[in-house]
Structure 1
Amino acid sequence: MSNRLEEDSKAVIAILTTHDSSRMFRGNRQNFQEIIKAGKDMGYLVYVVTVRDLKLHSQMVKGYTPSSDHHSWEQRTFPLPQVIYNRIPNREDEMKPQVRKKIKECLNHPNLDLYNPYFFNKRQLFSWLSKSKLTRKWAPITKKLKGMASLYEMIKRCSYLYLKPEDGKAGQGIMRLRYQKNKPLAYRLQIQNDKNSTTYKAATLERLWDRISKETNGDPYIIQQGIELTSVHGRAFDLRLLIQKTNHGAWSVTGIGARMAGSHSITTHVPRGGTIEDPEKLLPTLFGTEQAEAILSKVRNAAVLIAKQIERGAKYPLGEMSMDLGLDTSGELWFFEANSKPMKFDEPAIRKRSLERIFHYCEHLIENK
């Protein structure tokens, strides 16, 4: 890396990930390449660094950059970053003691900023939202699954429920439960598979609980009030938003996409059969142009309030998150999920803006250090 480029760069930004003995580092390489290119185009020096190589007491650290042919990566020496963009790819890596120790050291370091230090926990998200009058109206009733008694209590309150792993991602492990007391097999449990779902019917709560215990396998789960989502041709959809901080350090909606559930899926995730839709085309067909505009405006305002409340609850610095919001059949808004390590959006305009905003916020952090 030439000194000339380092001198010309506005600032030094590192993408943080973990070491991989066979592939050098973990994470989505294409995403990292696009982030590095966007940063370079905006005048920043950007590289990938692993937790292992990030030596905070050194002036220079070993990092990775795409080679000139863009088909491989090479290791070089870079200046210590001013801002660290945390992209540690999974919870298992994040939970390792050496990783948590390094993140803590970064958060306490006087000369650098790290934001989005940790993955969110689903139960905590709903707990944080319920603490504010402004945001609690958008949160479905959510409880920890503590055994058959806790499930029974929720069934008495809501005959339509979702069971979700507290630390799940991309729809893994989600189940949908309906209780129809007039039917001989009153409990209907839909279990999400890769692209479709399996339905299990039970006459008694005990039989149902046997199956749920087997599926959850001791992992921590939440039970959540089910919401009848607006659907098109029998396929429910929700809204996927990206919210990022701007160069003024304020939360702003970068873009809104819609995700429609696959015909046999109980979630809207694309890897599980969902499809990408344009909310600006989808909503007017359901609600009319005027109401659709009002809904999108409400969605944007809600997302910013929710992001602020999540950051308040988390008590650590955040710079971006993706969020799933849904509309019920009467057009009311509901919050389902937020992710502190957003996956890249497929919509080109949202993707372009999202890359620029990463660096706008880094600039804000550096200027306000």
Structure 2
Amino acid sequence: MRQRFFLEVAANDQLVAFCPPEVIYHQSLKKIAFGSKSIEVDFRAHPDQKDRIVISKRMQEELQFPNLNIPLHTFIEDQVLFIGPLVGIFTSGFSASQNNPIGERTSFFAKLISVNKTVGAVPFVFGEQHIDWEQGSIKGFFYHESVWETFDVPFPNVIYDRLPNRKSEENPKLIKVKNRLQKEYLIPWYNPGFFNKLDINDRLQQNDIVASYLPETHPFTSFSMIEIMLSQYGHIYFKPKNGSLGFGVHQIIYDKHHGDYYCRYQDPDGINRLRKFSSLEKLFNRVFSKQNLDRMIVQQGIHLLRKGTRAIDFRVHTNKDELGNWHVSAIAAKIAGVGSVTTHKRSGGEIKTISEIFPTEECELFTEKLSKAALNLSSVLDHNIEGIIGEIGFDLGIDRNGDVWFFEANSKPGRSIFEHPELKDFDLLTRQLSIAFAVFLTEQALHHPEELFQ
């Protein structure tokens, strides 16, 4: 049974662990472990210390345990008492700055690590250059009492993938590190990889529960395909297969009364454009002359709910908790900027809560519909994608008929919605759940490894 205790370090060199009676009751424990390190010790009941386990300074040093005064979980398997979990957050882009060790993303990681006490885990940040393979240890970056510190710690129980972009993800050196830690050391690794739009769409299409959420989507093959979709839907979206943050998204509109084509997009200078063309060929020659069209997809246009003339879509975050169950952890509405093809902030978009835009009855209805769709989509993706997924950010829309549409799934969702003052609590919740899931994975790896390493 999983429990939480403080780990207290006593100033002696005994190899004895003093535990509350319920920890060692009916257990013949022989070892204590932290991360990948374990040592043989004697276990004795300590009835006066019901909220803590006491170890010696020598044990702390041998286990490479950073004494951060955090209540930790205990797991028992094969006569070993595991303390933790120790959660490695893997990323790249480290700097030499002591105050900003991960560059401009330092504040995000500081906030992520700061959930350690409420979750009961020891999270730290590291990169491939911080691994000592011979010693089986890692120079980890810890955020403790508002200061960044480094400690040498064992290999972690679980690794949370926070690589920042596809370029780092495709780095051969980082791929080698990920494969080695997963295959040789059997460390569960969650949220690996950025999603490919077409791949996600194909996988979701195969499931009847969520197929109704999907707009018609195809890889670009010809102008005739676009003509057919324009005649059917009136407008389409033309965007990169592996794009993010709304970069490269174009809306193409056909005016059937006058036979004109319009293209709405953001130019390289960040200006929202709407240009008119007499033919689709001219549009492509002018707008896409320098682009590799093989990397693009064509997607059905949806007539979304609007605030005035501005389209509205929704960001819905889902996370798994420490029991491995999916939850909707945040919902925000995003209003497109004036003349913008997307709802992103850099294009003039605004973040709002649903209750700021819709009256109470509609707010409740839309929240229920979006939550149901996001949980269905999470479950289907979870069962149809390789690797372990612990969080997803969905971009969803609701059309004028009240139907929900799926636009995109993000394995490493951005966090711009949490700049809204009324979404601060959801910011905290998403961070707590993303680390709490590591508690579940640690337990699974110890008790049911066959379910993780099939």
TM-score normalised according to structure 2 size: 0.74
Aligned: 1:274 with 2:349? yes
Alpha-carbon spacing, 1:2–1:308, altered in 2? closer, same or farther (3 Å): closer
Amino acid at match of 1:359: I
Kept in 2, the 8 Å contact 1:115–1:317? The answer is yes
Deviation at residue 199 of structure 1 after TM alignment: 1.6
> Residue by residue, what CA displacement relative to the aligned partner does 1:60-80 show, whole Å, maximum 9, x if unpaired?
11222347664xx45431221
| Corresponding residue to 1:216 among 266, 285, 291 | 291
| Corresponding residue to 1:170 among 231, 245, 256 | 245
| Corresponding residue to 2:212 among 129, 132, 137 | 137
Specify the alignment match of 1:321 in structure 2.
Answer: 392
Specify the alignment match of 2:410 in structure 1.
Answer: 339
Residue identity (%):
29
Amino acid at match of 2:85: A
Deviation at residue 329 of structure 1 after TM alignment: 1.2
What count of residue pairs does the alignment treat as equivalent? Answer: 362
| Corresponding residue to 2:164 among 57, 65, 89 | 89
Amino acid at match of 1:189: C
Higher Rg = 2
Kept in 1, the 8 Å contact 2:324–2:440? The answer is yes
Alpha-carbon spacing, 1:360–1:7, altered in 2? closer, same or farther (3 Å): closer
Specify the alignment match of 2:434 in structure 1.
Answer: 358
Alpha-carbon spacing, 1:256–1:306, altered in 2? closer, same or farther (3 Å): same
Aligned: 1:18 with 2:92? yes
Specify the alignment match of 1:30 in structure 2.
Answer: 107
> Residue by residue, what CA displacement relative to the aligned partner does 1:252-286 show, whole Å, maximum 9, x if unpaired?
101111111111211111222111111133232xx
In structure 1, C-alpha distance between the alignment counterparts of 2:294 and 2:200, rounded to whole Å: 18
In structure 2, C-alpha distance between the alignment counterparts of 1:54 and 1:219, rounded to whole Å: 39
- Of 36-45 and 94-103, the range deviating more from structure 2: 36-45
In structure 2, C-alpha distance between the alignment counterparts of 1:62 and 1:204, rounded to whole Å: 59
In structure 1, C-alpha distance between the alignment counterparts of 2:219 and 2:96, rounded to whole Å: 39
In structure 2, C-alpha distance between the alignment counterparts of 1:138 and 1:250, rounded to whole Å: 22
| Corresponding residue to 1:299 among 370, 375, 379 | 370
In structure 2, C-alpha distance between the alignment counterparts of 1:300 and 1:307, rounded to whole Å: 10
Specify the alignment match of 2:449 in structure 1.
Answer: none
Deviation at residue 58 of structure 1 after TM alignment: 4.3
Counterpart mapping for 1:14-163 below 5 A: 14-20=88-94, 25=102, 28-55=105-132, 58-66=135-143, 70=147, 73-163=148-238
Alpha-carbon spacing, 1:147–1:100, altered in 2? closer, same or farther (3 Å): farther
> Residue by residue, what CA displacement relative to the aligned partner does 1:203-237 show, whole Å, maximum 9, x if unpaired?
12221221343263456111100111101121111
| Corresponding residue to 1:200 among 235, 258, 275 | 275
Kept in 2, the 8 Å contact 1:82–1:111? The answer is no
Highest relative contact order (Cα 8 Å, sep 6+), 1 or 2?
1
Kept in 2, the 8 Å contact 1:242–1:254? The answer is yes
Deviation at residue 358 of structure 1 after TM alignment: 1.6
Amino acid at match of 2:263: L
- Kindly report the root-mean-square deviation, in angstroms, between the aligned alpha carbons of the 2 structures: 2.4
In structure 1, C-alpha distance between the alignment counterparts of 2:241 and 2:443, rounded to whole Å: 37
Kept in 2, the 8 Å contact 1:55–1:61? The answer is yes
Alpha-carbon spacing, 1:361–1:206, altered in 2? closer, same or farther (3 Å): same
Amino acid at match of 2:122: L
Specify the alignment match of 1:4 in structure 2.
Answer: 67
In structure 2, C-alpha distance between the alignment counterparts of 1:167 and 1:111, rounded to whole Å: 30
Structure 2: give runs of 5+ residues left out of the alignment.
1-63, 73-83, 446-454
Deviation at residue 328 of structure 1 after TM alignment: 0.6
> Residue by residue, what CA displacement relative to the aligned partner does 1:322-363 show, whole Å, maximum 9, x if unpaired?
111111112111011111012224120111111211222111
In structure 1, C-alpha distance between the alignment counterparts of 2:292 and 2:223, rounded to whole Å: 14
Kept in 2, the 8 Å contact 1:18–1:52? The answer is no
Amino acid at match of 1:348: K
Alpha-carbon spacing, 1:7–1:204, altered in 2? closer, same or farther (3 Å): closer
Structure 1: give runs of 5+ residues left out of the alignment.
none
Deviation at residue 102 of structure 1 after TM alignment: 2.2
Is the partner of 1:171 in helix, strand or coil? coil
Deviation at residue 55 of structure 1 after TM alignment: 5.0
Specify the alignment match of 1:233 in structure 2.
Answer: 308
